[in-house]
Amino acid sequence: MSKNIKIKGKLYPSTISLAMNLVGGKWKALILYHLKDGERRYTELKNEMDFITDMSLSLYLKQLRDDGLVSRKVYGKKPPLKVIYSLTDFGKTLIPLLEAMDNWGNLILEQQNKNT
């Protein structure tokens, strides 16, 4: 594990810390998971994750875009605009990790169900 990594003026104690900065938090990984199978409109994401607030979804989509994991394409010149979100090529490198996390979550659920 590398130590003291500096990227974009920010210091990270390890590469794990760097990675968690990009995908950590309550909703980022889930947003990425919903985009792994293809592009989605904002409304589709919101409907699939009805428990997230509009403010949080907008904020995290912007952060994921700024970090190069998600792309945003706008179609049309006047409202209502069609806005499509999708994983970038860099974002697609996360798909195996997202699927592994989903599998691990299912394993945790199975273990909890056995213990109850």
Could you tell me if residue 12 is inside a domain?
no
The partner residues of 71 in beta bridges, in order of sequence, read 86
Could you tell me if residue 11 is inside a domain?
no
Using DSSP's 3-state secondary structure scheme, residue 74 falls into: strand
Could you tell me if residue 108 is inside a domain?
yes
**How do residues 20-71 score in pLDDT, each as one tens digit?**
999 998 999 999 999 999 999 999 999 999 999 999 999 999 999 999 999 9
Task: State CA 60 to chain mean position distance.
Answer: 8
Q: DSSP strand E in the chain: where? A: 5-7, 10-12, 40-41, 70-75, 82-87
| Cα–Cα distance measured from residue 55 to residue 35, given in angstroms and rounded to the nearest whole number | 19
Q: What is the CATH number of the domain that holds 50?
A: 1.10.10.10
- Into how many domains does the chain fold? 1
**How do residues 62-116 score in pLDDT, each as one tens digit?**
999 999 999 999 999 888 889 999 999 999 999 999 999 999 999 999 999 998 7
Could you tell me if residue 62 is inside a domain?
yes
Could you tell me if residue 4 is inside a domain?
no
User: What six digits make up the tokens of 82?
Assistant: 């069609």
Query: Domain of 70?
Result: 26-114
Could you tell me if residue 39 is inside a domain?
yes
Q: Assess whether pLDDT exceeds 70 at residue 1.
A: no
Asked whether 87 and 69 are in contact (CB, 8 A), the reply is yes
Could you tell me if residue 16 is inside a domain?
no
